[in-house]
Chains A and B, each alone.
Chain A
Amino acid sequence: MANKNLLLIFRNPPFSDSSNRDTLDIALACSAFEIPVSLLFLGDGVLQLIRGQQSKTLQQKNLLNTFNALAMYDIDQLFVLQSDLQRFELIAADLSIDCQLICETQMAKLIRQSDRIINL
Chain B
Amino acid sequence: MMSDTIFQTLHIINKTSSHSDLYTDCFKTLLPGDAILLIEGAVYSACGQQVCDLLKQQVPLYALNIDIQARGLTQRIHSQVISIDDDTFVSLTCQYKKSISWF
Is B102 in contact with A119, judged by CB distance below 8 angstroms? Answer: yes
Given the known interface contacts A108-B31, A112-B8, A112-B9, the answer about A11 and B25 at a Cβ–Cβ threshold of 8 Å is yes
| C-alpha gap A59/B10 in the complex (Å) | 40
Which of B21, B31, B99 sits near A112, CB closer than 8 Å? B31
Flag whether B98 is at the interface (Cβ < 8 A). yes
Nearest CB in chain A: distance from B95 CB, A? 16
Is A111 in contact with B25, judged by CB distance below 8 angstroms? Answer: no
Which of B25, B30, B31 sits near A42, CB closer than 8 Å? B25
Given the known interface contacts A115-B98, A119-B100, A119-B101, the answer about A43 and B25 at a Cβ–Cβ threshold of 8 Å is yes
Is A108 in contact with B98, judged by CB distance below 8 angstroms? Answer: no
Flag whether A107 is at the interface (Cβ < 8 A). yes
B58-96 vs A, CB cutoff 8 Å, 1 = contact: the mask equals 000000000000000000000000000000000000000
B3 partner residues in chain A, CB cutoff 8 A: none
Which of B28, B97, B99, B101 sits near A108, CB closer than 8 Å? B28
B21-37 vs A, CB cutoff 8 Å, 1 = contact: the mask equals 10001001111000000
A-B contacts, 13 listed (Cβ < 8 Å): A42-B25, A43-B21, A43-B25, A104-B28, A108-B29, A108-B31, A111-B100, A112-B8, A112-B31, A117-B98, A117-B100, A119-B100, A119-B102
Chain B residues within 8 Å of A, Cβ to Cβ: 8-9, 21, 25, 28-31, 97-103
Q: Which are the 10 A-B pairs with shortest beta-carbon distances?
A: A117-B100, A104-B28, A111-B29, A108-B31, A108-B29, A43-B21, A43-B25, A42-B25, A119-B100, A112-B31
6 additional contacts, CB 8 Å, given A81-B28, A111-B9, A115-B98? A107-B28, A111-B31, A112-B8, A119-B101, A119-B102, A119-B103
